[in-house]
C-alpha cells in the first residue's frame, strides 16, 4: 500500500528500473556556466588527497588552446619528439581539446599507427575534427568519453598523453583505472602539468600540480613512476608505466 508522496516516487523509480527505462543522466559540460577564465565553477567540489579538483575548461574558451605564444612556451613538437613514439604505435590523447597535440601525435605514429583522441565535450571534438580536416589527417579516431570512462580499447594502447588535463578529471580514480586497462604491457602514461612548485608561473594553483601530488595520486592507482622531464619553462612532463 502506498501512503506518501515519497513512497509513490520510490515505487515509480523501482518500476522504471524494472522496465529498464530509468532516465540516464547525460553530462554535457559544455552547457554549464563558466567564470572569466572559461572554467566551470559549479564543477568544483571534490577533493582528492587534499587536492581540489579543478573545473573543466569550457568550449567557449577553446581559442586559448591555440593561442599564438603557446608553441614557444609549450614546445609541442619537441615534446612529441622527446617521447620517442615509434611509427605504427597506438597513442591516446586524453582530453584532446581542439587537437593541439593530436595532429602532432598523428604525424609521429604515421600511416601505420593510430591516435585515439578523447574528449567529454562534443564542442571540442567538433573543432578537433575541423582542425584534422584542414591538415588532411586521417589516422585519428575521435571518441566522446564520459567523466568516468574515456572509452579506450583494452590492452591496445602504447602511450596515453594527458596535457593540462589530469587536474580537471572529475573522477580521476575511475578514469585512470580505464587508462591502466587500455595499456599494452610496457605502455606509458604521460602527464604534462603546470609546475605548482613555482609560484611565479601565472596560472591559478587549482590548475597546477606538483610532481609529488601527481605521484601520490598515481602510484596507489597502479602506476609506477618512470621519468621526469624538465626542459619546458613552465610545465613538467611526468611519465609512468602500469605497475600491475
Ligand atoms: C585545458 S584543456 C587541454 C586540451 C589539450 N590537451 C591541449 O593541451 O590543448 C582540457 C581538456 O580536457 C577535457 N576533459 C576534461 N575532463 C575529461 C575527461 N574526464 N575525459 C576526457 N576529456 C576530459 C576538456 O573537455 C578539455 O577539452
The model's pTM is: 0.85
pLDDT digits (tens, 9 = 90+) for 208-225: 999 999 999 999 999 999
- Calculate mean pLDDT across residues 204-210: 94
Expressed in angstroms and rounded, the spacing between residue 124 Cα and the centre of ligand 1 is 9
Distance 242 CA to ligand 1 centre (A): 22
CA distance 136 to 177: 33
Among 65, 100, 119, which residue has the most ligand 1 atoms within 8 Å of its CB, making it the best to mutate? Answer: 119
pLDDT at 104 over 50: yes
pLDDT tens digits for range 8-67: 544 544 444 343 333 333 333 444 444 445 555 444 568 888 899 999 999 999 999 999
Inform me whether the pLDDT recorded for 2 exceeds 50: no
Tell me the percentage of the chain whose pLDDT exceeds 70. Answer: 82
Q: How far is the CA of 60 from the centre of ligand 1 (A)?
A: 13
Whole-number pLDDT of residue 49: 86
Q: How far is CA 31 from the centre of its chain?
A: 18
Burial of 136 (0-12, 13-18, 19+ CB in 10 A): exposed
What are the φ/ψ torsions at residue 228 (nearest 5 degrees)?
-115, 125
Fold (topology level) of 58-242 = Rossmann fold (3.40.50)
Ligand 1 atom at minimum distance from 175 CA:
19
pLDDT bin (cut points 50, 70, 90) of residue 121 is: very high
| Protein residue closest via CA to atom 12 of ligand 1 | 95
What are the structural domain ranges in the chain?
58-242
Index of the ligand 1 atom closest to the CA of residue 118: 21
Give the atom of ligand 1 at the shortest distance from the alpha carbon of 150. 20
Residue 46's pLDDT is 83
Classify the C-alpha dihedral 145-147-153-155 as positive or negative: positive
The alpha carbon of 86 and the centre of ligand 1 are apart by a number of angstroms equal to 24
Q: Give the residue, by CA position, lying nearest to ligand 1 atom 16.
A: 169
pLDDT of residue 80: 98
* pLDDT for residue 69 is more than 60: yes
Determine the average pLDDT of the residues in 107-114. 98
**Ligand 1 binding site (Cβ under 6 Å of any ligand atom):** 56-57, 65, 94-97, 100-101, 118-121, 124, 145, 147, 150, 163-165, 168-169, 175
Q: What is the pLDDT of residues 151-161, one digit of tens each?
A: 999 999 999 99
Ligand 1 atom nearest 207 alpha carbon: 1
Q: What is the pLDDT of residue 3?
A: 54
State which of 120, 121, 203 you would mutate to test the pocket of ligand 1, scoring each by most atoms of that ligand within 8 A of its C-beta.
Answer: 120
* Per-residue model confidence as pLDDT tens digits over 122-167: 999 999 999 999 999 999 999 999 999 999 999 999 999 999 999 9
Atom 19 of ligand 1, residue of closest alpha carbon: 147
User: Given the CA of residue 161, which atom of ligand 1 is nearest to it?
Assistant: 6
Give residue 142's pLDDT. Answer: 98
**Integer Cα distance of 67 and 234 in angstroms:** 16
pLDDT of residue 203: 93
- Residue 15: phi and psi, rounded to 5, are -65, -40
Beta strands in 66-198 (DSSP E): 90-94, 114-119, 140-144, 157-163, 183-195
Amino acid at each position: 500500500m502506498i501512503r506518501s508522496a515519497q513512497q509513490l516516487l520510490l515505487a515509480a523509480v523501482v518500476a522504471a528500473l524494472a522496465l529498464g527505462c530509468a532516465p540516464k543522466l547525460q553530462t554535457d559540460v559544455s552547457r554549464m556556466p563558466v567564470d572569466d577564465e572559461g572554467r566551470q565553477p559549479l564543477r568544483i567540489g571534490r577533493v582528492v588527497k587534499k587536492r581540489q579538483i579543478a573545473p573543466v575548461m569550457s568550449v567557449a574558451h577553446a581559442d586559448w588552446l591555440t593561442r599564438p605564444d603557446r608553441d614557444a612556451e609549450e614546445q609541442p613538437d619537441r615534446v612529441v619528439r622527446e617521447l620517442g613514439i615509434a611509427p605504427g604505435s597506438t597513442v591516446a590523447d586524453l582530453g584532446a581539446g581542439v587537437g593541439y597535440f593530436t595532429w602532432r601525435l598523428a604525424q609521429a605514429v604515421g600511416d601505420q599507427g593510430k591516435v585515439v583522441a578523447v574528449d567529454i565535450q562534443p564542442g571540442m571534438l567538433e573543432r578537433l575534427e575541423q582542425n584534422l580536416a584542414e591538415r588532411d589527417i586521417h589516422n585519428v579516431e575521435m571518441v566522446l568519453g564520459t567523466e568516468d570512462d574515456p572509452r579506450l580499447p583494452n590492452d591496445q594502447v602504447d602511450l596515453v598523453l594527458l596535457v593540462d588535463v589530469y587536474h580537471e578529471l572529475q573522477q580521476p580514480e575511475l578514469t585512470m583505472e580505464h587508462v591502466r586497462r587500455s595499456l599494452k604491457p610496457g605502455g606509458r602514461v604521460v602527464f604534462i602539468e603546470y609546475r605548482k612548485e613555482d609560484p611565479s608561473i601565472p596560472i591559478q594553483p587549482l590548475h597546477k600540480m606538483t610532481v609529488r601530488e601527481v605521484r601520490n595520486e598515481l602510484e596507489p592507482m597502479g602506476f609506477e613512476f618512470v621519468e621526469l622531464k624538465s626542459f619546458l619553462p613552465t610545465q613538467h612532463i611526468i611519465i609512468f608505466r602500469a605497475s600491475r
